[in-house]
Amino acid sequence: MPAHISPPPDGIHLGITPTCWTSDDFPLIGNDIPMEQCLSEIALAGFEGCSIGHTFTTDVHALTAAMHLRGLSVSEPWVSTYFTVPDGPERCARDLLKVLEFLKRFNAGGPPVQTRVIGAAEFGRSVHLQALSLRSNKPEFTDEQWTDLCDGLNRIGEITARQGFTLAYHPHMGTGVQTEQDVDRLMRHTDPRHVGLLLDTGHLTWAGADLTGIVERHRDRITHVHLKNVRDGVHADRTLAAGSFREYVEAGVFTVPGDSDGHIDFDTFLKVLRPGDSYRGWLVVEAEQDPRGGHPPLHYAQTARAYLAEVLN
């Protein structure tokens, strides 16, 4: 960690996702940025870990060596779920087992993964990868599909718990679980022992949610947090009113905490969340930006880390 940046409170780990460098949703965005540059800049900015980007090597030994060389851990293993579509549950089970096997192999190569959370989101019937308007094409699950989703999450959450991890659900624009009401329903119908909440400030704010209300209602379920900012000028741009998720991302709808272009009040949000007190775990910066526009990714990473050093102490 850079000497001039203070450490986070006890019980808090700070991470950042590679989506600030290269998009996992749209792989051609930033795909010319090598893994080594991404990991080195994450470490240089003073973060402790990151998720696994799509440009990272699939050789577990090489990935382990590259991350441990820079003092980085895995902040959030991930599994996409498809419980609302035919044959989706079988795929989910296979993918989860692959993630758990990866974590075992990663741990065997050096210091253990510090996170105890596996992120998940339901991408069955999602439109976020399609060239469709987010405003008019949000998936709406039937009662049967909601039951399939919640029962499926409970099942894989129990499997995850037996391996010492907690499944954390991530609301996402363009999916069937994106609004505050969707989150409330999911929390009501999933087992709190096995399914937590991955609170993403950017996606929820974009969907019109009250972040403070979500924290107050579901504080005991929040097991992981994405700190993602929203540029109000892009969010409210009338020329993007019928825009797809990709069009919004390429226009720069997301940025990092501490960027003056963003409008989320992170000072208030973090006071309500109480990191190091009622919330203990990872705070992971995420932006999903096109690195060809604006400042270089390292600039945004350093901006976010400096802001968190100030606001958390």
Residue 80 belongs to a domain with what CATH number?
Answer: 3.20.20.150
Q: What's the pTM value of the predicted model, to 2 decimals?
A: 0.96
- The CA R_g of the chain, rounded to the nearest whole Å, is 18
Sign of the C-alpha dihedral, residues 222, 228, 233, 235? negative
Partners of residue 80 on adjacent β-strands: 121
Q: What angle do CA 162, 166, 171 make, to 5 degrees?
A: 140
Provide the number of structural domains found in the chain: 1
pLDDT at 114: 86
Q: Along the 313 residues of the chain, how does pLDDT read in single tens digits?
A: 565 678 999 999 999 999 999 999 998 889 999 999 999 999 999 999 999 999 999 999 999 999 999 999 999 999 999 999 999 999 999 999 999 999 988 888 777 778 999 999 999 999 999 999 999 999 999 999 999 999 999 999 999 999 999 999 999 999 999 999 999 999 999 999 999 999 999 999 999 999 999 999 999 999 999 999 999 999 999 999 999 999 999 999 999 999 999 999 999 999 999 999 999 999 999 998 888 888 999 999 999 999 999 999 8
Residue 109 placed within a domain: yes
Phi, psi torsion values for 231, nearest 5 degrees: -80, 115
* Number of other CB atoms surrounding residue 247 within 10 Å: 16
95 neighbors 79 (Cβ within 8 angstroms) = yes
Q: Which helix (H) or strand (E) holds 150?
A: helix 143-162
Residue 116 placed within a domain: yes
Residue 248 placed within a domain: yes
Residue 5 placed within a domain: no
60 neighbors 105 (Cβ within 8 angstroms) = yes
Structure tokens given for 286: 């995420």
Residue 179 placed within a domain: yes
Residue 7 placed within a domain: no
- Class of residue 177 by CB neighbours under 10 A (exposed 0-12, middle 13-18, buried 19+): buried
Structure tokens given for 297: 């990714």
Residue 32 placed within a domain: yes
* Number of other CB atoms surrounding residue 63 within 10 Å: 20
> Which range marks the domain in which residue 42 is found?
12-311
Residue 6 placed within a domain: no
